[in-house]
Amino acid sequence: MPLPRVSRRDLSYFLFSQHFSDGLRITLAILLPALLGAQWGQLAEGITISTGAVCLSVTDTPGPLSHRRNGLLAALVLVFLGALITGAVAPYRLGLGVVVVGLSFVLTMLLVWGARAGAVGSATLLGMVLTLAHPPVGWLAVLLHAGLLALGGVWYLLLALVQGRVQPYRAAQQALGECLHAVAGFLTLKAAFYNPATNLDDDYRRLVAQQVIVSDRQEAVRDLIFRTRQIVTESTSAGRRLVLTFTETVDLYEHITAGYYDYAALRTAFGDTGILYEIQAFIGRLATDLDYLGSAVLANRAYGSPPPDRLPELTRLQARINALPAPDPGAGVSALVLKKILVNLRDLHQRVTSIRRYFDEAQAADTAPDPGRVASHTQFVARQELEWSAFAQNLTLSSSVFRHAVRMAVACTVAYAVAELLWHGQHNYWILMTVTFMLKPGFSLTRERNIQRISGTLVGGVLGVLILWAVPSGDVRFLFLLVFMVVAYSFQRIKYLVTVVFLTAYLLIMFSFLGLSYLGVIQERLTDTALGCAIALATAYVLFPRWEGDQLPTLLAATLRANLAYLRQLADRLAGREVAPTTYRLLRKDVYVASANLAAAFQRMLSEPRRTRRHPTEVHEFVVLNHILSANISALTTTWQDDTTPNPAVPPDGRRLLTSAQAALSKSLGLLAAAPPTLAPPDPTAPTVPLLNGVSADAQVDTVTPDRTLAEQLAFLQKVSADLSRVTESLAA
């Protein structure tokens, strides 16, 4: 299997990313105390301080500085208390077992207050487990150990806060650059639809998967920009440019999504002319321009050379389109569709050019963001209130967090028993540590993490042994240790497999500096990893398993509800009723988020055991039809939302079609509400609904091309809505 090609731009994205800067900060926070301790003859104390920094780094997930600070402070207190309690009962096996079970349950329940609170629980669990590596004896030793852990936490906290204060806009710039990179990737995948040689069904699968990534990146930018007061309220040039560029990026993504056409008909009518390849190439160049913009924003540098002028290319493309002969009338599409595509390309080019204003400080300063849009920023970010009653309210089997906490407690009990009674290794606490980090709320993620942990440990063990065998020089080994640490901590939130490989290798090198036999260490680590992964995977499979298929009805209903509200705003707009810009953008955001959540759950479901999958063919068809519906609603909305464009006169048939489309979506919502809590497994003897180029065969019948009238466009919306209703009937049967 060939290795993926890494371009200079890909390398630039990594080196200037939040992930790499996090890797550098974590490496510095861990390495410096240990080195100073060794220099002063207090290596054990230095390692304990480094361990405290490791624990707090777990909870330092990306987000506004105030949220990071609060999470780090909470973790600091809990890590200290957890180490104190664990150290106090460590001499008593039964008491320690009770503490392990109790803390694993309570700390996992912190997930009721959100992902950051869950990370605080994970950090505390890590501190508890690492305390078991060398349990302190006596109260003074326990206090000293917990205090050194807290000192390491304070050191990491100060490092993170100082970096955030010195570079207040850096995290938002990095998130915005990565968002532009994701949108550029979406545009590249969109270009593939104009390639007659690709399979449209595969194109849709890749596009929907990228949609999940774009949604995650947009949420990350919203969280950073709209929750950071310094950005949204202070009139600084840097903050203004961040807000302006992000709003332009969201609008650009909407127009990319809205560019839906009957690609099968396009390929039939124009596949032999070569014009589609030229359109694909132009879109690809636009995506490259956008990607370069993202790289420059991420690196916080000027764009560099003058941007390429794409207007002559558009002029040549227009001439090529005008020179084409009319297609066969039987193709179901006219030459007008190419002209509409050209209009869409001009619009995309103009929007990419507008984003380039980010680098023109004077122009950006003169172009203030929409005041109403900034004032309503709190509506675009979800609030996570710290309500103490939520903990008690979730102490029921109907709560997914409670079921996960029970699984964690049981798995930790088994891991503790195995480590104490069956396997007496020098580092058998690794079994418990593996369980706490491998057991996830959903089975699919638990399975994926376990596979990556085992394979990464194997590869990392081989890599570490090769380094230790081939490199006798201690200085060179230390250099490898440093590089492996940075890589491991840089990839921990994006490529867990890479993290495990380099984490294992650097641990082997570190243990060699401590005088341990690296062959014995790798043998024990492999054994402990295998035992921990087996316990985590078995617990996730047997005890209250959370299958993605069981979550689908809720996600399907949320997607339908979002699209129904999105369709209603179009109906209001066409009826002459005013739709507030903030209301429209909130509805658009709801559609994107709900669609991304559904697509992500569908992808996870496909990695679960076959018997647990629920109607994969129909769910895939639903996802694609949902994408087509929202794209067409966006296309019509963007046509008529401009104040300078008068609303068209909607014929009576058009109003009936809109009403029928809304009724079809409402009926689908009712079907899901009346369905059982879980979807029935598919009947292997029943015929499946075939997909034709990513759209159901029924949806392709009478599909109207983009040169249709408004009434015909509304007819297409009604048709897709009816097909969604038909698929929903199959899912809710």
DSSP string, 255-305: HHHH----HHHHHHHHTTTSHHHHHHHHHHHHHHHHHHHHHHHHHT----S
Instruction: Round to whole Å and give the CA distance between 667 and 729.
Output: 9
Strand-pairing partners, residue 691, are 696
Highest mean pLDDT among 200-209, 236-245, 673-682: 200-209
- Residues near 419 by Cβ (< 8 Å), separated by ≥ 6? 428, 429, 431, 432
What's the confidence (pLDDT) of residue 51?
93
SS3 state of residue 691? strand
- Residues near 148 by Cβ (< 8 Å), separated by ≥ 6? 45, 48, 49, 52
Quote the tokens at residue 59. 């909870």
What's the confidence (pLDDT) of residue 385?
65
Is the pLDDT reported for residue 144 higher than 90? yes
Residue linked to tokens 């505390």: 124
Quote the tokens at residue 31. 């390495």
Element (H, E) at 163: helix 139-166
- Residues near 578 by Cβ (< 8 Å), separated by ≥ 6? 572
The three-state DSSP-derived secondary structure of 215-240 is HHHHHHHHHHHHCCHHHHCCCCHHHH
Using pLDDT thresholds of 50, 70 and 90, give the confidence band for residue 231.
low
Q: How many residues does the chain have?
A: 733
C-alpha dihedral, 47 to 48 to 49 to 53, nearest 10°: 90
Least confident of 46-60, 290-304, 394-408, 468-482: 290-304
Least confident of 21-25, 116-120, 335-339: 335-339
Element (H, E) at 695: strand 695-696
Task: Say if CB 326 and CB 335 are below 8 A apart.
Answer: yes
In Å, how far are 355, 356, 670 from 290, measured between CA atoms? Answer: 9, 9, 42
Task: Say if CB 45 and CB 148 are below 8 A apart.
Answer: yes
Distance from the first to the final alpha carbon of the chain? 43
- Residues near 508 by Cβ (< 8 Å), separated by ≥ 6? 460, 461, 464, 465, 467, 468, 518, 521, 522
312 burial (CB, 10 Å; 0-12 / 13-18 / 19+) is: exposed
Task: Say if CB 716 and CB 704 are below 8 A apart.
Answer: yes
Instruction: Round to whole Å and give the CA distance between 439 and 6.
Output: 33
Is the pLDDT reported for residue 336 higher than 50? yes
Dmax over CA atoms of the chain, in Å, equals 90
Task: Say if CB 617 and CB 689 are below 8 A apart.
Answer: yes
Work out the percent of the chain whose per-residue pLDDT is above 90: 35
Quote the tokens at residue 152. 């390491």
Reference 457, options 494, 485, 417, 497; nearest CA is 497
In Å, how far are 58, 187, 438, 594 from 443, measured between CA atoms? Answer: 22, 32, 10, 21
pLDDT digits (tens, 9 = 90+) for 2-15: 445 556 777 888 88
Instruction: Round to whole Å and give the CA distance between 613 and 599.
Output: 14
Is the pLDDT reported for residue 253 higher than 60? yes
Is the pLDDT reported for residue 685 higher than 60? no
Is the pLDDT reported for residue 157 higher than 60? yes
Radius of gyration of the chain (CA): 28
Phi/psi at 692 (nearest 5 deg)? -115, 105
pLDDT digits (tens, 9 = 90+) for 286-329: 999 999 899 888 888 776 667 778 889 999 999 998 888 877 66
Residue 94 region by backbone torsions, left for phi larger than 0, else alpha for psi between -120 and 50, else beta:
alpha
Mean pLDDT of 429-442: 89
Is the pLDDT reported for residue 703 higher than 50? no
Residue linked to tokens 């706490």: 436
Please state at what angle helix 237-258 crosses helix 200-226, rounded to 10 degrees: 160
Quote the tokens at residue 68. 């990071």
Reference 18, options 215, 210, 221; nearest CA is 221
Instruction: Round to whole Å and give the CA distance between 358 and 355.
Output: 6
SS3 state of residue 252? helix
In Å, how far are 30, 44, 48, 57, 590 from 34, measured between CA atoms? Answer: 7, 8, 8, 16, 48
pLDDT digits (tens, 9 = 90+) for 520-547: 788 888 888 999 999 999 999 998 888 8
Evaluated on CA atoms 640, 642, 643, 644, the torsion sign reads negative
717 burial (CB, 10 Å; 0-12 / 13-18 / 19+) is: buried
